[in-house]
């Protein structure tokens, strides 16, 4: 069993707080407090270190999943992902009542910030369209850096989306929630239903019963493409209130063109979100460099258009002056 797994959960009579021992340290959280958020596998609460009162994040795996053997293994896997990357959240450990049943708690470092989704809507609106676009693409490149790091270690995130990306201290991008991550190349799915967020899920996630379905780095590339499109346009065309319809759209529709996206970048996003994995970028890094190249080409085109427009304007003004001069001589 992984060293991070410590079967110590304690609650004192009359005290609503739940105490958790992970990696030899005691932490606590109040289950009656307002959650920090809800993910595909669990609810996240603000917790504290008993020694230093330092804030942490405590994810309680949803009870409907907690007694599922595969989910317990997945929770252990998430807690054991001791990755060191500036754009990934740092894990602390995992606590269980018992190894086989009962609540599961995943502890990680607390990220003080807001989601990238909120950041774009509330903090980037003062920027010009071009500056806003550059800021969004730069931040998504950090997400792709984190994704590439995971992929290089054989892990696929499987739930890249705006609400799983945090901006810490106003500038540091963090990819969150590895709760449904899996080892690269697997093709076995659970029988209890769809795993992931439908409006960002690649078709191969939806085709979970297919023997030939493989989840790999290109699965995350697809979700990152949808995420980038939504952050720029403010719209996810696959989103509806009916999950079956969302999944149907994911399988058949491509992202429509939006004038907020330069054509060069739109073509890059289209390739990232191809329905067939083999047609997408082969890695998060390849997608990242395609984005950078598209933004650079868009800047060059804008500059060229500006120069051309300036020359046209200069010519028009000169022509008008000549006409006025001729008229003055005639008069």
Locate 200 and state its tokens: 């960002």
Could you tell me the CATH superfamily of domain 5-109?
A: Phosphorylase Kinase; domain 1 (3.30.200.20)
Q: Which helix (H) or strand (E) holds 78?
A: helix 69-79
- Structural contact between residues 55 and 72, judged by C-beta atoms closer than 8 angstroms: no
Q: Rounded distance, CA 117 to CA 166, Å?
A: 8
Q: Rounded distance, CA 316 to CA 52, Å?
A: 71
Q: Rounded distance, CA 318 to CA 297, Å?
A: 31
pLDDT at 217: 93
Could you tell me the CATH superfamily of domain 134-296?
A: Transferase(Phosphotransferase) domain 1 (1.10.510.10)
Asked if residue 226 has pLDDT above 70, the reply is: yes
Asked if residue 204 has pLDDT above 70, the reply is: yes
- The pTM for the full model equals 0.79
pLDDT at 73: 76
Question: Looking at residues 207-230, what average pLDDT do you find?
Answer: 85
User: pLDDT band for position 3 (50/70/90)?
Assistant: very low
Q: What is the dihedral of CA 61, 63, 66, 67, to 10 degrees?
A: 180
Q: Which residue has the higher pLDDT, 79 or 115?
A: 115
- Beta-strand runs (E) in the chain: 5-6, 9-10, 18-22, 25-29, 37-38, 42-49, 55-61, 91-96, 104-109, 113-115, 155-156, 165-168, 172-175, 182-183
For 304-317, how does the pLDDT look when each residue is reduced to its tens digit (9 = 90+)? 566 666 667 777 77
pLDDT at 177: 77
- The top-scoring range by mean pLDDT among 73-87, 96-110, 157-171, 260-274 is 260-274
Domain residue spans of the chain: 5-109, 134-296
Asked if residue 91 has pLDDT above 90, the reply is: no
User: pLDDT band for position 69 (50/70/90)?
Assistant: confident
Q: Rounded distance, CA 137 to CA 159, Å?
A: 19
Q: Please name the residues in contact with 65: beta carbons below 8 A apart, sequence gap of 6 or more.
A: 41, 42, 71, 192
Asked if residue 7 has pLDDT above 70, the reply is: no
pLDDT at 306: 67
Q: Which residue has the higher pLDDT, 308 or 112?
A: 112
Q: Which residue has the higher pLDDT, 141 or 154?
A: 141
């Amino acid at each position: 069993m992984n060293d991070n797994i410590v079967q110590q959960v304690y609650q004192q009579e009359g005290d609503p707080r739940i105490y958790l021992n992970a990696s030899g340290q005691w932490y606590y959280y109040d289950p009656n407090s307002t959650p920090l958020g809800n993910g595909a596998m669990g609810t996240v609460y603000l917790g504290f270190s008993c020694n230093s009162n330092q804030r942490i994040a405590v994810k309680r795996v949803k009870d409907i999943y907690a007694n599922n053997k595969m989910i317990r293994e997945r929770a252990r896997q998430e807690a054991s992902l001791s990755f060191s990357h500036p754009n990934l959240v740092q894990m602390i450990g995992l606590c269980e009542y018992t190894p086989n049943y009962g609540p599961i708690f995943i502890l990680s470092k607390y990220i003080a910030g807001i989601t990238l989704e909120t950041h774009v809507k509330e903090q980037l609106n003062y920027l010009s369209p071009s500056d806003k676009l550059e800021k969004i693409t730069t931040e998504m490149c950090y997400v792709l850096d984190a994704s590439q790091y995971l992929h290089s270690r054989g892990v696929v995130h499987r739930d890249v989306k705006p609400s799983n990306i945090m901006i810490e201290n106003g500038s540091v991008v963090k990819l969150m929630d590895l709760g449904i991550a899996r080892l690269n190349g697997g093709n076995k799915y659970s029988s209890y239903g769809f795993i992931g967020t439908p409006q960002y899920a690649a078709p191969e996630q939806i085709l979970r019963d297919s023997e030939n379905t493989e989840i790999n780095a290109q699965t995350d590339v697809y979700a990152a493409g949808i995420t980038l499109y939504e952050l720029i346009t403010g719209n996810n065309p696959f989103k509806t209130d009916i999950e079956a319809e969302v999944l149907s759209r994911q399988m058949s529709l491509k992202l429509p063109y939006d004038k907020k996206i330069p054509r060069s970048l739109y073509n890059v996003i289209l390739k990232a979100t191809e329905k067939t994995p083999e047609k997408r970028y082969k890695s998060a890094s390849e997608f990242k460099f395609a984005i950078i190249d598209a933004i650079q080409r868009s800047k060059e085109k804008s500059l060229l258009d500006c120069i051309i427009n300036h020359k046209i304007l200069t010519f028009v003004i000169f022509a008008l002056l000549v006409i006025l001069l001729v008229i003055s001589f005639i008069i």
